[in-house]
Amino acid sequence: MNSLTNNKKSEAGSSQVKLVAVLVALFLAGYAAYNYVPIAYEGESFKQDMQTAVVQGMATPAGITMSDMVKGKLQKAMSSNNIPPDAIVQVTQTPNSVQAHVTYTKQVKMLPFGLYKYNYNFDYTATPTGFLMKQ
């Protein structure tokens, strides 16, 4: 009769090794996402704050310059979004509008124990759009 027992010792335990490999890969992917997602979210949130600051700068009262208004709003947004203090902020005023350009780099630990660090580069220029720019 046929015996259903498996006598191959080299195949014993291979499913456990595969399970451990999959769990390690899931752990590493989760760790990378846990560290990267908040920094990317802060960057995207800061982009929205930059757009808001530029649009609000277009509607400033006569006593305040547009660039000063935008710089103040950007400083508040930088502190609330954990933007590094060494970020390069440039606000330029044209006769009809104002632009804000911000550049910074943050290191993100992608692997445990500092084995690999990713440089998140933020480089964005906000210009006013919408009904304020229509002539």
Calpha distance 97→39 (Å, rounded): 30
Q: Are 102 and 86 in contact (CB under 8 A)?
A: no
State yes or no: pLDDT of 131 exceeds 70. Answer: no
Distance CA(67)–CA(82), nearest Å, equals 22
Digit-coded pLDDT (tens) for 70-129: 999 999 999 999 999 999 999 998 888 899 999 999 999 999 998 999 999 999 999 988
pLDDT at 40: 96
| Span 1-30, average pLDDT | 79
Contacts of 66 (CB under 8 A, 6+ apart): 57, 58, 60, 93, 97, 98
Number of H helices, E strands in the chain: 2, 3
E strand residue ranges, the chain? 88-93, 98-109, 117-126
Structure tokens at 18: 């595969």
pLDDT, residue 14, reads: 78
Q: What is the pLDDT of residue 5?
A: 62
- Per the CB < 8 A criterion, the answer to whether 126 and 53 are in contact is yes
Q: Is residue 30 over pLDDT 80? A: yes
**Whole-model pTM above 0.85?**
no
Q: How confident is the model at residue 4 (pLDDT cuts 50, 70, 90)?
A: low
Distance of alpha carbon 93 from alpha carbon 19, whole angstroms: 59
Mean pLDDT, range 31-59, rounded to an integer = 94
User: What single DSSP character describes residue 113?
Assistant: G
Task: Evaluate if residue 134 carries a pLDDT over 60.
Answer: no
pLDDT at 57: 87
Q: Hey, which residues does 88 pair with through a beta bridge?
A: 103
Contact 106, 84 (CB under 8 A): yes
